[in-house]
Amino acid sequence: MQPRDLSDHVAYEAGRGIEEVARELGRDPSEFIKLASNENPHGPSPAAAVAIREAASSVSSYPKSAHTDLSAAIADRWDVDPSQVWLANGGDGAIDYLSRAMLEPDDDVLVPSPGFAYYGMSARFHHGDVREYELERAEDFAQTPETVLSAYDDDRIVYLTSPHNPSGSTVDLADVERIAEETGDDSLVVVDEAYGEFADVDSAVALLEGRDGFEARDDVAVLRTFSKAYGLAGLRLGYAIVPEEWADAYARVNTPFAASELACRAGLAAIDDDEHVERTLETARTSREYMREHLDAHVWPSEGNFVLVAVGDATAVAEETRERGVIVRDCSSFGLPGCIRVTCGTEAETDRAVETINAVLEDVA
């Protein structure tokens, strides 16, 4: 027997790890650095690493209280009600919960192109249809109200990504407000802030809560993750912050115990580890500025922990940099040919990436 017809469903292309790449090329893993998946170059929050070891002996129990404690800590962090925090298996899991909560068969979902692939994948799994709004290279991939609203057609969910993956552009809150205002009452605007910590723009939580001069809205949700600034990508921990009016929806849509005991305990420790986050943000700022200045190619301004670089034949360039030990992301998988995305690394990693990419550009071009 076979699964149902999945021919419309594309597989998510996760960046491969160093071990996998080294095995494929028959080389030693120590020869490589990976700047392809926007991971934290400083590793996990040290406080979280301790919490994981301490939590190891309690994994025989279901994580009910850990879940509750973490939701409360996140709610505290954002000054929202704990019922507004939808914990999930990564930001990806939170996207799925929003799909579950919002979509009826054949509802439309509007996503940026280029953009993060999982929005569309999740919509399709939940029997929605995916439509795209095109971002212009020449306009630095800006998600302006004009761009989004000219494509909008009663879509049930509209995704904005701020900072945007893969370009690093951001959306300011006045624009999010205008988009939410002008899309219909039945459309939810999801602001994906997976890289929000790295950016100078304010979180769209202000729109949900009616802060900073904005009126409170019930048609905006915000996505956040512990994968990037907190360095917990391997634990799979993220969340959505939803309008207060949705109080009992989470219990109806979530997978029982949506985040594991280890993930919750680590998240609880990480959320207070300001020192690790600050160090991470400082590294990202320094690295992205350095790459903008020193790469011999067009580099878009970025507020994320990565930069987008125009390189011509991105597949050839990414292959050759990998051959020389630096793994970067070929953006063809984002529907963006001609570009690579390079994650911000430590000073040594950034130096090596810049040197290698510049040498490859000279040899391949």
- Which residues of the chain form contacts with ligand PMP (CB under 6 A)? 90-92, 116, 161, 165, 192, 194, 225, 227, 233, 238
Question: Strand order of the sheet with strand 306-310?
Answer: 298-299, 306-310, 339-343, 329-330
Instruction: Choose between 264 and 361: whose C-beta lies nearer to ligand PMP.
Output: 264
The helix/strand/coil state of 220 is strand
Instruction: Choose between 123 and 233: whose C-beta lies nearer to ligand PMP.
Output: 233
Question: Strand order of the sheet with strand 220-225?
Answer: 85-88, 238-241, 220-225, 188-192, 157-161, 108-113, 129-134
Instruction: Choose between 193 and 261: whose C-beta lies nearer to ligand PMP.
Output: 193
Which amino acid appears at position 213 of this protein? G
User: Rounded distance, CA 84 to CA 92, Å?
Assistant: 17
Instruction: Choose between 236 and 276: whose C-beta lies nearer to ligand PMP.
Output: 236
Q: Which two tokens stand for residue 162?
A: 């701020």
C-beta of 246: minimal distance to ligand PMP in Å? Answer: 20
Which amino acid appears at position 43 of this protein? G
C-beta of 52: minimal distance to ligand PMP in Å? Answer: 17
Cα separation values, 338 from 5, 79, 86, 107, 316, Å: 32, 42, 37, 33, 10
Instruction: Choose between 231 and 238: whose C-beta lies nearer to ligand PMP.
Output: 238
107: which residues sit within 8 A by CB, 6+ positions away? 128, 129, 155, 156, 157
Instruction: Choose between 147 and 225: whose C-beta lies nearer to ligand PMP.
Output: 225
Name the residue with the smallest CB distance to ligand PMP: 90
C-beta of 93: minimal distance to ligand PMP in Å? Answer: 7
| Long-range contacts, stretch 28-35, CB < 8 angstroms, 24+ apart | 31/325, 32/322, 32/325, 32/326, 32/327, 33/325, 33/326, 33/327, 33/345, 33/349, 33/352, 33/353, 34/327, 34/343, 35/306, 35/326, 35/327, 35/328, 35/342, 35/343, 35/344, 35/345, 35/349, 35/353
Instruction: Choose between 116 and 214: whose C-beta lies nearer to ligand PMP.
Output: 116
CB atoms within 10 A of CB 175: 20
C-beta of 352: minimal distance to ligand PMP in Å? Answer: 23
C-beta of 118: minimal distance to ligand PMP in Å? Answer: 7
C-beta of 141: minimal distance to ligand PMP in Å? Answer: 13
C-beta of 295: minimal distance to ligand PMP in Å? Answer: 21
Instruction: Choose between 92 and 107: whose C-beta lies nearer to ligand PMP.
Output: 92
C-beta of 192: minimal distance to ligand PMP in Å? Answer: 5
Q: Exposed e or buried b for every residue in 31-62, given b needs 16+ CB within 10 A?
A: ebbbbbbbbbbeebbebbbebbeebeeeeeee
Q: What's the angle, vertex CA 177, arms to CA 171 and CA 178, rounded to 5?
A: 95
C-beta of 31: minimal distance to ligand PMP in Å? Answer: 25
| 169: phi then psi, degrees, rounded to nearest 5 | -75, 160
Instruction: Choose between 156 and 329: whose C-beta lies nearer to ligand PMP.
Output: 329
C-beta of 201: minimal distance to ligand PMP in Å? Answer: 15
Q: Which of 345, 326, 226 is nearest to 284 (CA)?
A: 345
Instruction: Choose between 36 and 360: whose C-beta lies nearer to ligand PMP.
Output: 36
